[in-house]
Structure 1
Amino acid sequence: MATAQVTPEVVEAPPVAPATPVKMTDAAIGKVKEIMATQDPIPAGLRIGVVGGGCSGFQYSMSFENQSGMMDKVLRFADLKVFVDATSAMYLNGCVVDYVETLEAAGFKFENPTVKSTCGCGSSFSV
């Protein structure tokens, strides 16, 4: 009795777009561009990063930069360049940066799905 051999069908998966470590809301982009316009000279872009410190171990950082570093991922949001170093990109994966104005305060808010806990004041986090 002969057994038939079945050849599996090869189906190629569609290409996956590279993950963007950070997303920014329109409000955040607008506020960054507004602040950048007041700088002299106008910076090339915004650096978003994660640095050690705070009660829980890590803190977010934002600063203006005149150029990207060699190992930076350069993200573009409309005509705003955002620089993220390779180490920070690991901690920022899936993070959304928003700008929020309320009666009590105004500022940038990071919504990061990788965060396990934050400190009481909310300025630092752990993963």
Structure 2
Amino acid sequence: MFSIPGKSPVSITPAAERQIARLMASKSAAGLRIGLKKGGCAGMEYTMELAETAQPGDEVVEQGEARVLIAPTAQMFLFGTEIDYETDLLESGFKFRNPNVTDACGCGESVSFSPLEGSRAQA
């Protein structure tokens, strides 16, 4: 687990808190699990799913009635991220303001990160 004692790995805006709590209540879920998977034009995509229970290794962030579960493989990439929920005339959805992102596709659906120190670049 990647964490700094006394510091939350992600922050949740009031709008995101309300939406997460609404989703959890509507499905009797234990939380909203966020993670990353390979895909998209920039290399990685955020994943979100309502979870019935926290999995071993999940980092749990609670704020009011909202609970975010961060998958172990995503924790170091999401550290410092602000989770927001925005609504405008054309769309509404969660937005991730992640200081670790080095590149993103034009639509904002996929991102990339700098290679980790000590890791080999893949061909």
Asked if TM exceeds 0.5, the reply is yes
Equivalent residue number for residue 80 of structure 1: 66
Deviation, 1:34, is 1.5
Structure 2 residue 107 is the aligned partner of structure 1 residue 96? no
Q: Does the residue aligned with 1:38 lie in a helix, a strand or coil?
A: helix
Q: Does the residue aligned with 2:76 lie in a helix, a strand or coil?
A: helix
CA deviation vs aligned residue, 1:35-67 (integer Å, no higher than 9, x gap): 22222xx01111011111111111111111111
* Partner amino acid, structure 2, of 1:29: E
Equivalent residue number for residue 52 of structure 1: 38
Structure 2 residue 9 is the aligned partner of structure 1 residue 27? no
Deviation, 1:125, is 0.4
Aligned counterparts of 2:79 and 2:106: Cα–Cα separation in 1 = 23
Q: Structure 1 regions of 5+ residues with no counterpart?
A: 1-15
Equivalent residue number for residue 120 of structure 1: 106
Aligned counterparts of 2:52 and 2:98: Cα–Cα separation in 1 = 26
* Partner amino acid, structure 2, of 1:68: A
Q: Structure 2 regions of 5+ residues with no counterpart?
A: 114-123
Aligned counterparts of 1:115 and 1:19: Cα–Cα separation in 2 = 20
* Partner amino acid, structure 1, of 2:86: V
After superposition, the CA RMSD in angstroms is 1.4
* Partner amino acid, structure 2, of 1:88: A
% of aligned pairs identical?
38
Equivalent residue number for residue 66 of structure 1: 52
Aligned counterparts of 2:81 and 2:14: Cα–Cα separation in 1 = 15
Q: Does the residue aligned with 1:75 lie in a helix, a strand or coil?
A: strand
Aligned counterparts of 2:47 and 2:102: Cα–Cα separation in 1 = 18
- Please give the TM-score of this superposition, normalised by the length of structure 1: 0.80
Q: Which has the higher strand share?
A: 2
Aligned counterparts of 2:84 and 2:67: Cα–Cα separation in 1 = 16
Aligned counterparts of 1:100 and 1:65: Cα–Cα separation in 2 = 22
Larger Cα-atom Rg? 1
